Structure 1
């Protein structure tokens, strides 16, 4: 930006003099310096430079454009000077290449410059360059065709200005520049050289590019089947899946990242997205195959990856993947739909997934929950969590350990070997490939099934004993989770140990009538502690908190407010993190935008209980609404009340920027009062408040160690301090109780004590206090703050037995404690500078 107006004005005069002297060699670097001073916004003073260039003769203009284009190619992709060159040429739109006598090398430079942009706003220049090249009998480069197509599709005037030109450019069949499209174009070229089927392959890819609707029509399917028949189903599957597996890889030809909007290198090519939709549909016309479902599932997840300033990469491609899976018969496609339903948070795609599963359930004459249970494949496991596969003289072993599966090998003598035997690589390549793919599938499905089981507490599910054993306890994959949980069989709590279901007294339970998941609500503390001891005695690590699950009971304050809870009010949350967490836990939420509109609260519907839980939130953009993204969404939220209503009660809403919630009433419908909290079943209240505690615990700015200064303008300093070092919530109290049992077993036990809400760690340099809720650290003397930023997914230190998985903050606290107990060995300069 301009630091000195006088320096800027002086440079403008110098640049104008260079233009008038037609000194292009010195002019180009000065122009870029000027552009950098203005952040590419030339303003009134800068227009003098533009006007001077436009007043110069055609020869000088052509030479300047050529030098700018040459300098553009010398610069690193995505750098500010490249953007400045584009901005400068945009300001010189009146400067046109002359049709008569224009140097070919200048035109080529302009074409190359345009080809590295996502879209080109000067549509007339694109048309003129294309006309000149084609008039000279020159083929337009694929990258230049690509920018014409993208501009045609995405510019506000693209269809009107570029429609005729785009229709005249059938080649290349897809835009180059993406890993998958480059591979497809290269294979088409290879096939054309050695086979007469090259044209058929080209027609198939061209047919995929016509997938502009939300779903394939019968006519589209018919044409696709005919093309597949001419090429062979197996070869089509192999090529299509190879291309689809490359989707989402980094662009092979990076595009210029503009100063605003989403990075085009992080998204899909707008023209190629239609082709990807068609390529996702085509495998559903083939016989079912495990690799098809696996690849389509990965495509859905890749297409929903979040891009800053944009949101999901490309939901329409994700939706095409879901629609394709829904059309494929068989266990693997159904399993992939069920897995995705537990992982996807984007509302439109999740709606399609739910519709597909509901339709499958209806066709099978089963309930949705039963379909999800039956959809879990064994992935080759022949016993619970284990499988052996003989490949020649070697044996492959799949063993599930906790949340992961391990693939190991034994030689002909039964001795364990560290790597895949050479004979297996040579003689059993396909089986090895499938084993490795199955291992990845198991890891993904274990995570999805753990999420599903964790939601069963509010589902009010019960099973006949035999059905439960088949679908849960003895299922080869789900059994690895179910055998680490507690269940209630005909009113008796049981766990699985030493090959049997057992009571608290270890008496075997071999039969029963009905089974339901066990929840600590309603059980005496002594019984809960006894089951925790039982799990520890048998060395069982639960896949999520169950015996150690937090129980949220009504407080006196909530009894006083009667119809709402303020327990999680007045927090500052990172909006997008909260939004994702809420979706994973089954809540419906609408992003708050800085617009004149209203939105409902975050809602979790509980149809089995006839209830709807609401968490009231509002956007926080700061005094001047500066804390928003480029797309207009708030970066942060402020939280308010938790309420419960009958599930069919009219919806509440409030202005996105804040204000009072009110109930929308239509057609004379009477308002519905919130339910007294005393009328909400204890299990429902506890689980809903536990969800919200999770949202606050993860998304609060108070647990960000870099926010010591209180964030923008220090507005949140008081909140950050009160949250980061304040009283412990229910979840942190559970963590404290676990650490009291765990610390004595650690190698650093003699350096650690728990006092109140802190873990005290005695190092050589200082004594440190780690807050058990936020993980923030104070150190002697004078409780000086120590900022240590943990990894995004810290690995839990080797501490021996842990009773449950999934507590990230526990891993953070233990990692920090281990480091600080041996603080003389710290080498990180950022940490050392604070000690």
Structure 2
């Protein structure tokens, strides 16, 4: 039997009605895939999913005992959870639910999630069963989708609407609390700012933002945004682990929430500037420029938006904020960005 392929070996075991032997073959295929042949496992799982429902049911019935024997935290244990979801997708019994939920809970404090575990498949199984996943877990998958561009993870988080911002940052949690107040107008605003995923706002984005400003009122909106921005950079409310060397995750901006911060900056550009909004933009850029170990600026996308906003605003304090930023920043790229903004601001003042 050793000379047969994994597909053939598992077929023989299933034909013989021996799910334990079949799982031995499954484990061997998994080990082979992690020994330098990852395509073995992917092709093998597709082969298993195509098996008759009765064979898959027998395999699933044998999996809990096999999962219990697997070393805690091992890749094989995670693989069994993943395989259980695949094999049971059209069957009435949902096995290893408690174990699946425990596995998902174990990554709630990760900055990114280990993609090789394919835990997003486990999360989708929970959502498809009508069981919500935690806000912390949503944040993990959103950060992963934002930075790793994994198509399936992006598809998963696209279907999760709440919470509209990731928990874990003081400013975001304050915004979420404000939006949750009865009669508060902030929910639609937050839903719009998280769509600020491009380097510059589109005309369509700005038109919708203008409608929201008109509905809320420029002054209360400015006051609320300034209050939220004053909390940016405070210690995280939810501790996180990072899976690779470099800057501690606690020093970084949540990349999903960073889109929303960029959206807030764009909003302020559409309103007649006040001294407090200009200073809030300067402080946001300064906080974002603060260097982190092995990372550079904490959030270039937010810094870029804030600096460009300061260059665009027709307020005398805007140039003062840019001058201050130029003096406190040492990174070459940031200096170049601020110098260009100062030049643009000077040109605008001369033209005026």
- Shorter-chain TM-score: what band? 0.7 to 0.9
CA distance in 1, matches of 2:228, 2:66: 44
**Is 2:282 aligned against 1:297?**
yes
How far does residue 226 in structure 1 lie from its aligned partner after superposition? 1.0
Q: For structure 2, list consecutive stretches of 5 or more residues without a partner in the other structure.
A: 1-33, 36-61, 86-92
How far does residue 341 in structure 1 lie from its aligned partner after superposition? 2.2
| Change over 3 Å in CA distance of 1:107–1:92 after alignment to 2 | closer
Q: Is the 8 A contact 1:107 1:129 kept in 2?
A: yes
CA distance in 1, matches of 2:78, 2:102: 16
How far does residue 64 in structure 1 lie from its aligned partner after superposition? 6.9
CA distance in 2, matches of 1:280, 1:58: 51
2:63 — aligned with what?
58
Please tell me whether Structure 1 or Structure 2 has the larger radius of gyration of its CA atoms.
Answer: 1
CA distance in 2, matches of 1:91, 1:297: 50
CA distance in 2, matches of 1:189, 1:215: 29
Q: 2:162 aligns with which of 140, 148, 171?
A: 171
How far does residue 203 in structure 1 lie from its aligned partner after superposition? 2.0
How far does residue 318 in structure 1 lie from its aligned partner after superposition? 0.8
Q: 1:287 aligns with which of 268, 272, 281?
A: 272
Alpha-carbon displacement from aligned partner over 1:669-724 (angstroms, at most 9, x marks no partner)? xxxxxxxxxxxxxxxxxxxxxxxxxxxxxxxxxxxxxxxxxxxxxxxxxxxxxxxx
**Is 2:342 aligned against 1:349?**
no
1:209 — aligned with what?
194
1:274 — aligned with what?
259
Q: Is the 8 A contact 2:79 2:117 kept in 1?
A: no
1:338 — aligned with what?
323
Q: 1:106 aligns with which of 60, 79, 99?
A: 99
TM-score scaled to structure 1, two decimals? 0.32
Report 1:549-560 matches (<5 A).
none
CA distance in 1, matches of 2:102, 2:256: 24
How far does residue 257 in structure 1 lie from its aligned partner after superposition? 3.2
1:115 — aligned with what?
108
| Change over 3 Å in CA distance of 1:243–1:140 after alignment to 2 | same
| Change over 3 Å in CA distance of 1:122–1:342 after alignment to 2 | closer
Q: Is the 8 A contact 2:252 2:299 kept in 1?
A: yes
Q: Is the 8 A contact 1:123 1:162 kept in 2?
A: no
1:319 — aligned with what?
304
Structure with higher helix content: 2
How far does residue 232 in structure 1 lie from its aligned partner after superposition? 1.2
How far does residue 63 in structure 1 lie from its aligned partner after superposition? 4.6
Q: Is the 8 A contact 2:109 2:136 kept in 1?
A: yes
CA distance in 1, matches of 2:144, 2:112: 5
Q: Is the 8 A contact 1:267 1:313 kept in 2?
A: yes
**Is 2:180 aligned against 1:162?**
no
TM-score scaled to structure 2, two decimals? 0.73
Count of residue correspondences? 286
Report 1:39-78 matches (<5 A).
58-60=63-65, 62-63=67-68
1:131 — aligned with what?
124
Q: Is the 8 A contact 1:93 1:122 kept in 2?
A: no
How far does residue 92 in structure 1 lie from its aligned partner after superposition? 4.3
1:265 — aligned with what?
250
Q: Is the 8 A contact 1:304 1:312 kept in 2?
A: yes
CA distance in 2, matches of 1:89, 1:296: 46
How far does residue 61 in structure 1 lie from its aligned partner after superposition? 5.2
Q: Is the 8 A contact 1:208 1:277 kept in 2?
A: yes
Q: 1:329 aligns with which of 301, 314, 320?
A: 314
| Change over 3 Å in CA distance of 1:260–1:299 after alignment to 2 | same
| Change over 3 Å in CA distance of 1:363–1:132 after alignment to 2 | closer
| Change over 3 Å in CA distance of 1:89–1:256 after alignment to 2 | farther
Q: For structure 1, list consecutive stretches of 5 or more residues without a partner in the other structure.
A: 1-41, 44-56, 69-87, 367-835
CA distance in 2, matches of 1:101, 1:223: 44
How far does residue 221 in structure 1 lie from its aligned partner after superposition? 1.8
Q: Pairwise CA RMSD of aligned residues?
A: 2.7
| Change over 3 Å in CA distance of 1:287–1:136 after alignment to 2 | same
How far does residue 207 in structure 1 lie from its aligned partner after superposition? 1.6
Structure with higher strand content: 1
How far does residue 62 in structure 1 lie from its aligned partner after superposition? 4.6
How far does residue 90 in structure 1 lie from its aligned partner after superposition? 4.3
1:94 — aligned with what?
79
**Is 2:212 aligned against 1:227?**
yes
Q: Is the 8 A contact 1:280 1:321 kept in 2?
A: yes
1:145 — aligned with what?
138
Query: Is the partner of 2:272 in helix, strand or coil?
Result: coil
Query: Is the partner of 1:365 in helix, strand or coil?
Result: helix
| Change over 3 Å in CA distance of 1:148–1:288 after alignment to 2 | same
